[in-house]
Amino acid sequence: MLEIVFTDGRIGAKAVKIFGLAEGAKFNSAALHSDELALVKKAISQACFNGKKGTFIEVFGAQGKIIVAGLGEKPDALGLQELGGSLVKKLFKDCVACYYVENIKGCKLSPEEIAHNVAFGLMIGSYRFDKYFTRKKQEDYPSLEQVIFKVKNSAKVSEDFRDFAALGNAVRYGRDLCNEPSNYLTPEVFAADIKRLEYLGLEVEVLGKKELEEEEFGLLLAVAQGSVLEPKVAVIRWRGKPEQEEYDCGLVGKGVTFDAGGISIKPSNGMWDMKRDMTGAAVVVASLKALALQKASVNVVGIVGLVENMPDGGAIRPGDVVTSMSGQTVEILNTDAEGRLVLADCMWYLQKNYNVRKLADIATLTGATMRALGSEYAGLFTNNDKLAAHLIKAGEETGEKLWRLPLSKDYDQQMDSEIADIRNISTNPNAGGSTAACFLQRFLKVKHLPWAHLDIAGVDDETKGKPLCPKGATAFGIRLLNKFIRG
Ligand code: BES
Ligand code: MN
Ligand code: ZN
């Protein structure tokens, strides 16, 4: 993994030199020799380089490569992270680079914050999932090993980077889980991986099939019935405020390790994407990992339902009626609407056993939300306006954006069954994101508990590759939830 270092000391001559330039600003740097400075200035004027965001200029001086990166007009934290991410490509063939951190004109961020955000961008932008290649050549791998940030007061800057480094590690861990194929990341392997996080001071409890039966996870077990793999549920607690009994927040994640649809089987084209139907769970687990690494002073409890949705001979049938942990009966009309079943029992279990001030669930839940919002925004459904505002703001700040979609009585009524308490798909094929959310809402023990449901079906997969995420899993939500929980 790429090493990030902060120093006020001397920089080796071999390091690529990187400078940021705000749009419209004049380039100058005391870190360059006069001949190099003249060279860079000349290149800037010849190329009419004006510091526009996302543009770069590269110069080869007597000592090696110099990069000037355009920062745009008033760069914010997210813009600087993206800049860090874009540097990954620029430095692919280099070994060591040094970013000379200087005040940016018109920017409110301190040099320390500038360094932190660029470094964080490098950390998550350099993420790769390449463990299954066996024939790749050396030159196909990045040679970049270390990026040094030249700052004042480097001891403090390093120390303060801890929270960012923790978050960066958590994002990389979350993406690893999401990219892992379903034959490797089974519910059992996933649960064992979560259990290992106890070394960080997290409390982890894993429930196997027997415990799930005793605890009456009726809906989750109904989904699991169609697979030969044993389902698991993991409960993960971070108690950073041990003197407080209550939990500040409860998190629930959908961990369907593969969603074939069950008897209501999905079309084969694109079915492979359903290996990522456990992103919600990965995000919950990684979020708790981040809090533990940060030693955050909050109490958070997470629960993830780990199960595979397959069409085995023992699978549930469309038309079956199953009793949930809450006691409410559910008519299962489409076995492909399995995520809400898994979440409902997990939500109930969490509320039954823990005193939580607010509750958020996160899931790759509906194609409808994906079609409504594409990959720009995740869907937000909530019974609480304050919670909505708080989450939307955290989304804006982290670039993991949310758009609120409605819950309503009418959508809720469409979830009434003719022969049981609830049906698992709506009577109306439209507004599938909202009706799914209304299904979940029926599993709040206390109606007014501030609760939010995040539907990440459209944003869990990066198809083109972006500065902060290569093609593949985004693990959307880790940065957002960290900001939300920590304020
Ligand atoms: N995991 C899918 C939702 C999904 C679709 C995630 C596309 C990512 C990309 C979910 O379990 C599902 O199958 N939902 C159905 C529900 C329908 C049967 C009511 C859907 O949205 O089509
Ligand atoms: Mn499904
Ligand atoms: Zn699913």
Atom of ligand 1 nearest to the CA of 435: 19
Find out whether the beta carbon of 309 lies less than 6 Å from any atom of ligand 1. no
pTM of the entire structure? 0.98
CB-based contacts of 258: which residues, under 8 Å, 6+ apart? 182, 274, 275, 277, 308, 309, 310
CB 220 within 8 A of CB 342: yes
d(CA 487, CA 485): 6
Question: One digit per residue, pLDDT tens: the chain, 487 residues?
Answer: 899 999 999 999 899 999 999 999 999 999 999 999 999 999 999 999 999 999 999 999 888 999 999 999 999 999 999 999 999 999 999 999 999 999 888 889 999 999 999 999 999 999 999 999 999 998 889 999 999 999 999 999 999 999 999 999 999 999 999 999 999 999 999 999 999 999 999 999 999 999 999 999 999 999 999 999 999 999 999 999 999 999 999 999 999 999 999 999 999 999 999 999 999 999 999 999 999 999 999 999 999 999 999 999 999 999 999 999 999 999 999 999 999 999 999 999 999 999 999 999 999 999 999 999 999 999 999 999 999 999 999 999 999 999 999 999 999 999 999 999 999 999 999 999 999 999 999 999 999 999 999 999 999 999 999 999 999 999 999 999 999 999 8
Find out whether the beta carbon of 334 lies less than 6 Å from any atom of ligand 1. yes
d(CA 131, CA 152): 38
Residue 472, CA distances (Å) to 128, 179, 266, 348 in order: 9, 7, 21, 32
CB 300 within 8 A of CB 288: yes
Atom of ligand 1 nearest to the CA of 261: 13
CB 151 within 8 A of CB 112: yes
CB 479 within 8 A of CB 175: no
d(CA 282, CA 276): 9
Atom of ligand 1 nearest to the CA of 277: 1
d(CA 411, CA 383): 14
pLDDT tens for 26-58 read: 999 999 999 999 999 999 999 999 999 999 999
Closest by alpha carbon to 320, among 430, 438, 215, 417?
Answer: 417
Query: Which residue out of 365, 373, 425 has the highest number of ligand 1 atoms within 8 Å of its CB and is therefore the one to mutate?
Result: 365
d(CA 182, CA 228): 13
> How is residue 190 written in tokens?
């996933």
SS3 assignment for the chain: CCEEEEECCCCCCCCEEEEEEECCCCCCCCCCCHHHHHHHHHHHHHCCCCCCCCCEEEEEECCEEEEEEEEECCCCHHHHHHHHHHHHHHCCCCCEEEEECCCCCCCCCCHHHHHHHHHHHHHHHCCCCCCCCCCCCHHHCCCCCEEEEECCCHHHHHHHCHHHHHHHHHHHHHHHHHHCCCCCCCHHHHHHHHHHHHHHCCEEEEECHHHHHHCCCHHHHHHHCCCCCCCEEEEEEEECCCCCCCECEEEEEEEEEEECCCCCCCCCCCHHHHHHCCHHHHHHHHHHHHHHHHCCCCEEEEEEEEEEECCCCCCCCCCEEEECCCCCEEEECCCCCCHHHHHHHHHHHHHHHCCECCEEEEECCCHHHHHHHCCCCEEEEECCHHHHHHHHHHHHHHCCCEEECCCCHHHHHCCCCCCCCEECCCCCCCCHHHHHHHHHHCCCCCCCCCEEEEECCCCCEECCCECCECCEECCCCHHHHHHHHHC
Find out whether the beta carbon of 465 lies less than 6 Å from any atom of ligand 1. no
Find out whether the beta carbon of 338 lies less than 6 Å from any atom of ligand 1. yes
pLDDT at 243: 98
pLDDT tens for 84-117 read: 999 999 999 999 999 999 988 888 999 999 999 9
The catalytic position among 41, 128, 195, 266 is: 266
Dist. CA 433 → ligand 1 center (Å) = 10
The residue to which tokens 């990389």 are assigned: 172
Closest by alpha carbon to 17, among 94, 70, 103, 76?
Answer: 94
Find out whether the beta carbon of 461 lies less than 6 Å from any atom of ligand 1. no
pLDDT tens for 372-430 read: 999 999 999 999 999 999 999 999 999 999 999 999 999 999 999 999 999 999 999 99
Find out whether the beta carbon of 374 lies less than 6 Å from any atom of ligand 1. no
Find out whether the beta carbon of 248 lies less than 6 Å from any atom of ligand 1. no
358 is a catalytic site residue: no
pLDDT at 185: 98
Residue 109, CA distances (Å) to 103, 177, 201, 242 in order: 8, 33, 33, 34
Atom of ligand 1 nearest to the CA of 339: 11
> Going by CA atoms, what residue is nearest to atom 17 of ligand 1?
337
Query: Which residue out of 266, 366, 371, 474 has the highest number of ligand 1 atoms within 8 Å of its CB and is therefore the one to mutate?
Result: 366
93 is a catalytic site residue: no
> How is residue 109 written in tokens?
């961020």
